[in-house]
Amino acid sequence: MTAGRLVLLLCLTHPQAGKCGVPHIVYSKERDYVKLPCENVIAKDCSTTTWLYSTSGTRSTVEVVNRGKIKSDNTNIADRLKLEPDCSLKIINITSQDARQYICRQFLTEDGNQKGEDSLVYLSVLTVSSSIPASEMKADTNVTFYCHLTIHDRIQNDKGDTKIVWTGFNQRRVKDEYPYNISFTRTLTKEDKNRKLQCKVESKGELKATLDYIINLQGQDGSHPVGLIGAVVGAVAVALCAFLIFLWRRKKAKRETANVRSENVSTNVPKEKTEHERKTSGQSKQAPGDQGVTYVEITITANIRKSSDKPTAQHETEYATVKTMC
């Protein structure tokens, strides 16, 4: 038996995904990345590998990798492609438009014929959306939520092995036939803020991909960005006013304290005696060593009669002792 017949017999009796024309199905979610395997690589440096894709319902193909090099002329997808060391095709930032049939082929020479069979990959993409943008969702608003699985074509699920499951609000909905699209409508409440909804893909009883949707309610509860900024600015303004009032009162108290001290100092300073007070008070003497004792000399004029009975003026000096506190 020749090698060609042996390969054909193996393909008929044991078909494998990606080989012998049997597609390899890959599931991904929107905005994620994915690696599409190539099962017929000849040269390990990928110099013989060419990648193409075909759109649903057509036989035409678009070449994106030619003998190991990404073609930059395909602007719709070229900047999101990368050829991995094992010659698999990596696609980043997946969109629903990337759900196509991808073909990996081998060419020994640039102008030569194809070597071996195609390695086929079907890419399916899971997306979720809503009838109202997330930035406009409010309580008491009716919103419809959608979960959709985009596949290459209906032939992909002839056996009915694939289904999508939508969970949320204590509900579970299942769609197991083409087209894969589930939706439901709900009137939102305040309790739905930050609630997580989830859509997932199951194939042959295995979980293939999941995608979450978080409800972000906007409203008067401070969740709206504008309201939050306004509250912060208001709080800062109040704090600044309180701080300025505190500084004003503190300066006022310091000025009042300074005035009171100035008045006390002025009342404690002894006043200088006038000329009249110095004359009437007499002269004061203080004996050495008699601290705290002041002697005041007072002159008194008295009339003293002599034997001639004529009054004669005579000055006499008397001393009075006055104690003063030092």
Q: What are the tens digits of pLDDT across the range 253-304? A: 877 777 666 655 555 545 555 555 554 444 444 444 445 544 445 554 545 4
Residue 11 predicted with pLDDT over 90: no
Determine the Cα–Cα distance for residues 104 and 43; give it in Å rounded to an integer: 13
Percentage of the chain exceeding pLDDT 70:
65
What is the chain's Cα-based Rg?
Answer: 53
Confidence of residue 242 (pLDDT cuts 50, 70, 90): confident
Residue 28 predicted with pLDDT over 90: yes
Name which residue leads in pLDDT, 102 or 303: 102
Determine the Cα–Cα distance for residues 163 and 151; give it in Å rounded to an integer: 12
Residue 34 contacts residue 209 (beta carbons within 8 Å): no
Q: Is the peptide bond before 133 cis (omega within 30 degrees of 0)?
A: no
Q: What's the pLDDT score for residue 153?
A: 74
> Rounded to the nearest 10 degrees, how much is the dihedral formed by the CA atoms of 82, 86, 87, 89?
-40
Confidence of residue 18 (pLDDT cuts 50, 70, 90): low
Determine the Cα–Cα distance for residues 180 and 164; give it in Å rounded to an integer: 7
Helices marked H in the chain:
3-13, 225-268, 275-281
pLDDT in tens, 104-157: 999 999 888 999 999 999 999 999 999 999 888 999 999 999 999 999 876 666
The number of beta carbons lying within 10 Å of the beta carbon of residue 250 is 9
Residue 17 contacts residue 117 (beta carbons within 8 Å): no
